[in-house]
Every structure is written in C-alpha cells, then in structure tokens.
Structure 1
Amino acid sequence: MTSRGRFGVISGHVWRVIREQQGFTQEEVAERLKVSLNTIAGWETGRRPLTAVPVGQMLVHRRRLMQMGTASALLQVLERALEADVLLSGVLEEGSQVEESLLGAMVMQREFAEVLVWPLNGVPPQPVRNLPAPSRPRRGPTPSGPELSSAERQGFFAQMRRAAEQARGTDQFLLRRQALYLCGYDRETDTEEWLVHQQRRERPADWLTGWLNARSVAAIAARQGDVDRLSHFIDTALVDDDAGEAANLNYFGYWVGEVRQVELTDAFIADRSLGPWTGDKLLKHLVDGISPEHGYVELNVHSIWALLQARPGLLRSGAASRALRERLSIMLDSGGLSPRGRRELESIRYAIRLAEA
C-alpha cells in the first residue's frame, strides 16, 4: 500500500509522451498552458497527479493540447490514463477498498485495459506503440513507461487477490472476473496454481457466469503459456454451441470498441442476435493476432471464422481483409495450429475466394 496520495503515474507519463511528440520542452509547454515549470515537471513524474487538476481546468488544458496539434488518439489515451490512475488510487491508497473502485462498476474495454496494465507488463497501449521516436533527444535517463515500485506492485496484486477471493454472488461476479484478469499479470511463481484453485472454487449460478469464468481462466492460462487450456475452451464452449459463439463475438466486439457505450454488467454478452456493430474493428484486431507466436492465435482464428459466418460482407473491402489474405499462407505453412485451426483457416481461404469471384 502507499501513502503518496492520488496516483498520477500513468497520466503523467502519457502527458510527457504527448509533449515529446510535439517536440516541445517543459518550459515551452508551461508557457503555452500558462502554468509553472514545476507544475509540468510534477505532472510528468506523478508528483503532482493530473487527477488532482479540477475538471474545468483539465478541459482547458485539453483544448490547448488540441491547438498544439496533439493527435486525437493520444488525447483518448490521456483520458483513459486519468481513469486508470483513479482506479490505482482506489486500490493502493491506505484504507482503500477495491469494491468501491471502478473495477466492479463497468466492463473494461481494451482501450482502458491496455493503459491500466501498462505499468504491470511494460507494454504501451497501441496508439503509443505506433508513435515515431521523439523529435528531440531526452535529457538524461527517463523511464520507458509508467512504473510502480515493487511494494506498489505487490500491494496491487494482493488487493486483486483479496477482491477475487471475497467477491461472492452474481452481483459481484464482474468484480471477481476482472480482478482475476488483472491477477493474470502477476509473474509470481504461485500465480497459475492460485488461479486454477480459484476456478475450482467457482460454482456458477447460471450459464453466462460459467461461460465467462471458463473463458477468463483459459485466457489467463494462455497468457501464462498454457495454450492447451485455451484450445479445450474453444472445443467445449464455442464449437457447435450457438450461444457460446455469439457470446464470444459479443465479448470481443465490446472489448475492441465496436460499440462505444460502456456496459455496467456482463448481461449484454448473452445476446444471441449480436449487436448492430459492423465488425471492421474486430476483424482488424483478430487479424493482428494471427501469427505463429501469438498465445491467443487459436482463439483468434476461430473467432475470425465465426465472425465471417455472421458478417460475410467483411471480406469484400478493407485493409483487414487484405491483411488476412496475406497471413493465411504464413499460418498454413507454419505447422503450429491444431487440426481444427487448420480446417478453419482453409474455410476462411475458401470464403475469400468466393468473395473475390
């Protein structure tokens, strides 16, 4: 746990990335925003958390960042970073309760989750990964991403474990599921064993709870290197199961932002009719994961196959469909897929030929 007050480590680092991308010094940004140099330096280190800035003042700063030419994608990352710092504060401050944080109040999407886990896994969110190198050399050694101390990391995962173990009942399942998801980023030696134990303790009260629990455990296992559990999930909870296939696409579609509306519960996942979303973002996300070394490649292949069954028009246009055609041969030649995965890739290739005819 920590006593350093409100967190600003993630939003402060994003602020620095934005400044460096524009090629400005701290002094130049301070002058443009009409704040002191110490304020800018404090924001970037998290010593003066951006989450403590009044909302009205933050909106003024955001508008000025737009006038300075900041990309909208980076401004969205900054917004998610502010939310992530609020969640970290709600978890790590003395006397805090995870149950009162954002974790059990909304279903996370990738745009937010990637920012939240950045200091846990060291992987920047996609808009930051795609940025060119800063135009000006940095002064002295600087961290490559937002960082938590060893004690803060331990405190975070301890809180996640406690929340997952104590969450009971349908009304707390979202909190438990998302706490378990975050526990999967803990690289301690007993994490996988603990996660398996948590699965065995689960007694789902309904189909959706059981399905989501199985999917979460399989995804976490794949992240830990156990791809067999993920293949078992595909075979038992997706293949020849219309409800499971629809749930998988609804979950994925929401995760990648096909629908901008934030969901407060998991109930939407059980809608067999799927949403009104087009599937373009989802196809691009899944195609990006079609590579032999990707831990979720089997799930991505199957999900593409299922998505094209539901949205066959996706093959007729778009960069994602072109990228899919390019990766088919690579995957079919790699030899790393299961027989089911190879059959699904062959089916996808046949569907592409029909679409091009």
Structure 2
Amino acid sequence: MPRTSSGTRPVTLRDIAKAAGVSINTVSRALNGKPDVSEATRALVQAVASRLDYRPNQLARGLRQQRTATIGVVIADVANPFFAEVVEGIERTAYQEGYSIILANTEEDQDREARAVRTLVERQVDGILMAPAQRSDETVRYLMQRHVPFVLLARFFEGLDVPAVVNDDREGARLAVRHLVQRGHRDILYLNGPPYNSSARLRLSGYRDALEEAGIAFRPEMVLTTDARSTGGYAAIQQALAGGLEFGAVFCFSDYVSFGAIKALRQAGLSIPRDVAVMGYDDIDLAAIVEPALSTVHVAKTRLGQVAVRMLMGMIEGSSSRSERVGMVVLTPQVVIRESA
C-alpha cells in the first residue's frame, strides 16, 4: 500500500500506475494533459491520483522542463488599490495554472524597475508581468533582447509591438465626459496623470473627443497635470481655485485623484455634486463607499490580471490552444453612475 504525505514516502507515478492498472508512461501523459490519452483513462488516473493524495515534485518537473513554475510580477505601485485588484487576478489564475508569483514594487521608479526585472531574470522566472513606470522603454527592450516571455499590464509603449493587456482608456474617458455633458456641464476641469503615462495620454484624447462631440471648445487651461495620487488631486483643485478657474465638473485621471479633489472642494465650501460634479476612473472598491459615492469608469481589474496570466502561460508553453492571443488585448470600460456626478 503506497504511503501518502502523512507517511514516510511520497506517492509516485509508479504507485498510481499500479493502482490504476496502467503504465507509468500513461499516468505521466494523463497528468500532464497530453492529447494521446482517452478521456476515460485520464479521468481514471486523476481519480486515483486524488485518492492517493499524489503531489507532483514541482522542482524535479521544473528541472526536466527547464522551468521554475514561477512568474515575476512587477507593479508600479502596490499601495494603489487598482494594482492590488490586478495582482489578485494574477495570483489566483497563476495558482490555478500551477505557478507561484514573485511580486516586486517599483513605486513608479525607473531604476527600481530595472533592478527588479534583472533580479527576476537572474532568478530564472519563466516569465514576467509588468506595469511599467514608462519614463523609459529600456526595461522592455532588455526583456526583448533576453527573449524573456513578458506581458505588460494596463500600460503600453507606442511603437513597440509587444504583448499587453490594457483598458480602452480613450473610450472610457469619452464616456465619462459625455455623461458630464449630458448632465448639463460645459466647464469641465480635467485632472490628468503624468504625460509619459500611456493611460494619461489616451484619457486626455477621450476628454477632447467628448468635448468635440458636444461642440465645446477645448481649453488647455482646463487640463491640470497631477502625480496620480490623492495628494495630486487635492493640490490641483487648490491650484484651480486659486487661479480663478470656473468649472462645474471635474473629471479625474483616477479614483485616487478624485478623493483628493473631493477633499479640496469640500474645504473650499463647495458641495458635491450640487456645486461641482466629480467623476473618477478605475472603480476601485473604495469608490462605492466614500461620501458621496463616486461616479467613475469601471475597469475590469481582476480580469485584466487573469487575461495577462493566460497570455503569458501561452507564451511560456508555446501553446496555440490558449484563447488569448499574443498581442494587445483591450478590455471594454463601463461608466458607473453613483452620487458624485
């Protein structure tokens, strides 16, 4: 009788083969998803493996396949709830695929990003998922030169045809500003992110698209650049009020920026949305519970992480059976209307 993990010897493929009445080679092919095994035999082998509490030796298997069953995840800001939800989708899907993750936080710093990626490559991860800081494409080019499988998260570089999973940021911004216009607003202040950020550039384009559709002239002074944090939103509203800008609505690069904007507006004695409507972007969990509940653009953050993992797995395994293609996958945004706009 084979001994399970509670005994002194782990269950082997030979044990499963003996119990199932098939060859060791059949057991190996059934458990590794090879195509030349009947469904009945595969089901039998899997049932026996489960009954015997078989646990594959990931290290030995990795050595045979020249893999580590580990992927690196390089995130621009783990304190940002947007990325926390993306990582949740990554970790859950990687686990289902039999992979572990190593998480690195760059805090939007290009040098930290470069060090993190080089460390992960030295650790021989099978692939990398990365939300790039975007001050430079140097790290992406390094991965391309080293032939390391990778997928970009939420951001991309114009002119570089590399795998990425992103939100349709231009369309999301257009829908958000169109909602404000439909509510009667014409003086719409936009608090945008850093200009080197691909999402910031696309959301600015969407903002301009919505104004043009409504016959509203674009005014450069109505666009203020922030650092994409709540402190940036707070400072931008103070700047706008001190500069005498007149506006009845504020569209923000992110929900985080919106929170800072709301605080500054309230301190100025303005009511939301009676005096100023506020629209965010991302739809993080906090957006639904702040006061007033934030109207925003929903980004499928968990799905973004899930799709990215499956894309990366297809690249690692060289499989054409994966549904997600290697290229750019663009997720569709939705406007979520709550109390603030």
* Structure index of larger Rg: 2
Q: Is the shorter-chain TM-score for this pair beyond 0.5, marking a shared fold?
A: no
Q: TM-score, normalised by structure 2?
A: 0.24
Q: Normalized per residue, which structure has more strand? A: 2
Greater RCO (Cα-Cα under 8 Å, separation 6 or more): 2
Q: Normalized per residue, which structure has more helix? A: 1
Q: TM-score, normalised by structure 1?
A: 0.23
